[in-house]
Amino acid sequence: MLDTLDLAKRLIAAPSVTPATGSVFAELEAMLVPLGFAVHRFTRGDGPEGSDEAPVENLFAIRQGPEGSRHFAFAGHLDVVPPGPIGGENGWASDPFAPEVRGELLYGRGAVDMKGAIAAMVAAVAEVPQDAGTISFIITGDEEGPALHGTRALIDFMAAQGHQPDLCLVGEPTSVNRLGDMAKIGRRGSVNIFIDAEGTQGHVAYPHLADNPLPKLVAILAELDALTLDTGTRWFQPSNLEITDINVGNKAHNVIPAAGQARISIRFNDLHTGKSLSERVMAIAEKHGGSARPVISGEPFLTEPGAFSALVSAAVAAETGIVPELSTTGGTSDARFLRSVCPVIEFGLCNATMHKRDEAVAIPDLAVLARIYARIARAGLALEATE
């Protein structure tokens, strides 16, 4: 098997703060071409740096199996979150983009989220014979950012080229306490809603000449905060609504402001849709004299336990001795888009250090994950078309 540690080091050493372009994709391409993959790279977005429309690079790689064979896809992202300060009491102990081994840990930004997993995928496919079926890589540079020109663009590309995976494994870091203890078979949906309350500015001593918007805003938020959306379902935890920002910007103590804004975030299960929740919030806002603007990030999805989850569990158990818990907890991922293409399950490394300073992966876990991924790919390609 290829040296997964070396592959991970190569990817970490190519800085790729979201939105990622360039060298990190060149590294992955250089790994895949010798394994028989045809690699397609393209960039979407033409806005200025720092905007939601900033250019994003994507990569789709495919190794065709025999005609009519199954198609198994690995998916993930090469972009990473900003590393933060380096050195000092609160900074990284080493350069986050200079991979460093200390003991049994490999340090570097993206070690677990998720360059380590992509390295394991590459090592895994080297162990799967080409005549077993078609394998592809669906890799974006915009998962940690707005996710506007990433996986959704890749889905459009695959549709245009006639590439339809039968199953997809996303390499997000799903494990909690040890490699293999959790896999994700679904995710809750996500919607952010921006609330506005308008009024008329005036002097606090003359309230009859003004219209204070803040009582409206407080009433809206109080009613929203008091909501119990549900108590959860068999596979999903209860939906939750959180107030995430309140902004007035009034620096004068004797002025009634002209407007106030707030933002809420709702993570919701399959009892709701983004549209139904948005309409509910908009109605509450309008009742109190305000308005609301929703931005739906994703709908809830569930890959029902069955043959796919069973083969993932069997592969994990064969290499680790434990059966993963099937879960829908956590935040969103690009699986929310890929689920429209084919059944999707997420499985990857331990997530304890993701997005943190001194992000690190246990080196033995890299090799074990590669073996797990190889088992999953082989089993997925051999699976009867019942999923």
As a whole number of angstroms, the distance between CA 375 and CA 343 comes to 18
What residues have CB less than 8 Å from 147, skipping those under 6 apart?
140, 297, 334, 337
| Cα 222 → chain centroid | 31
Catalytic residue among 57, 79, 358, 365: 79
Nearest to 262 by CA among 223, 302, 312: 223
Binding site members: 77, 113, 144, 172, 355
Is 4-187+301-382 in CATH node 3.40.50.300? no
Task: Report pLDDT for 386.
Answer: 46
As a whole number of angstroms, the distance between CA 380 and CA 374 comes to 10
Task: Report pLDDT for 387.
Answer: 43
Task: Report pLDDT for 228.
Answer: 98
The structure tokens listed for 264 are 């809420």
Q: Is 215 exposed, middle or buried (0-12, 13-18, 19+ CB in 10 A)?
A: middle
> Catalytic annotation on 79?
yes
Task: Report pLDDT for 385.
Answer: 54
Bridge partners of residue 326, in order along the sequence:
183
Nearest to 265 by CA among 224, 237, 232, 222: 224
pLDDT tens, N- to C-terminus, the chain (387 residues): 899 999 999 999 999 999 999 999 999 999 999 999 999 999 999 888 888 888 999 999 999 999 999 999 999 999 999 999 999 888 999 999 999 999 999 999 999 999 999 999 999 999 999 999 999 999 999 999 988 899 999 999 999 999 999 999 999 999 999 999 999 999 999 999 999 999 999 999 999 999 999 999 999 999 999 999 999 999 999 999 999 999 999 999 999 999 999 999 999 999 999 999 999 999 999 999 999 999 998 999 999 999 999 999 999 999 999 999 999 998 889 999 999 999 999 999 999 999 999 999 999 999 999 999 999 999 999 997 544
Instruction: Using the structure block, give the residue that is written with the tokens 């999953």.
Output: 376
CATH class assigned to 189-298:
alpha beta
**pTM to 2 decimal places:** 0.91
Written as one letter, the residue type at 371 is R
H or E element, residue 121: helix 115-125
As a whole number of angstroms, the distance between CA 54 and CA 46 comes to 6
Catalytic residue among 57, 143, 346, 358: 143
**C-alpha torsion angle, residues 53, 57, 58, 62 (rounded to 10):** 160
Domain coordinates in residue numbering, the chain: 4-187+301-382, 189-298
Core vs surface per residue 318-356: b (16+ CB within 10 A) or e: ebbeeebbbbbebebbbbbbbbebbbbbbbbbbbebbbb
What residues have CB less than 8 Å from 34, skipping those under 6 apart?
none
Binding site members for Zn(2+): 77, 113, 144, 172, 355
The CA distances from residue 102 to 105, 124, 148, 325, 363, in Å, are 6, 25, 37, 30, 10
What number of helices (H) and strands (E) belong to the chain?
9, 19
